[in-house]
Amino acid sequence: MSFLIKMIVTTFAIVIGAYILPGVEVNSFMTAIIVAFVLGILNAILKPILVILTIPVTVLTLGLFLLVINAFLIQLTGHLVNDFRVDSFWYALLFGIILSFITWILEQPVKPRHRRP
pLDDT string in tens for the chain (117-residue length): 688 888 999 999 999 999 999 999 999 999 999 999 999 999 999 999 999 999 999 999 999 999 999 999 999 999 999 999 999 999 999 999 999 999 999 888 877 777 666
- If one counts every other C-beta atom within 10 angstroms of the C-beta of residue 106, the result is 18
Does 61 map to a domain?
A: yes
Q: Which of 49, 92, 48 is nearest to 68 (CA)?
A: 92
> Is there a domain that residue 41 lies in?
yes
Report the candidate in 98, 74, 81, 73 with the shortest Cα–Cα distance to residue 21: 98
Tell me how far apart the alpha carbons of residues 21 and 39 are, in angstroms, rounded to a whole number. 18
* Count of the separate structural domains present in the chain: 1
Residue 74 belongs to a domain: yes
The answer to whether position 14 is within a domain reads: yes
Let me know: does 55 contact 65? Beta carbons within 8 Å: no
CA distance linking residue 37 with residue 28, whole number of Å: 14
Global confidence as pTM: 0.88
115 assigned to some structural domain: no
- Domain membership of residue 103 as a residue range: 3-107
94 belongs to a structural domain: yes
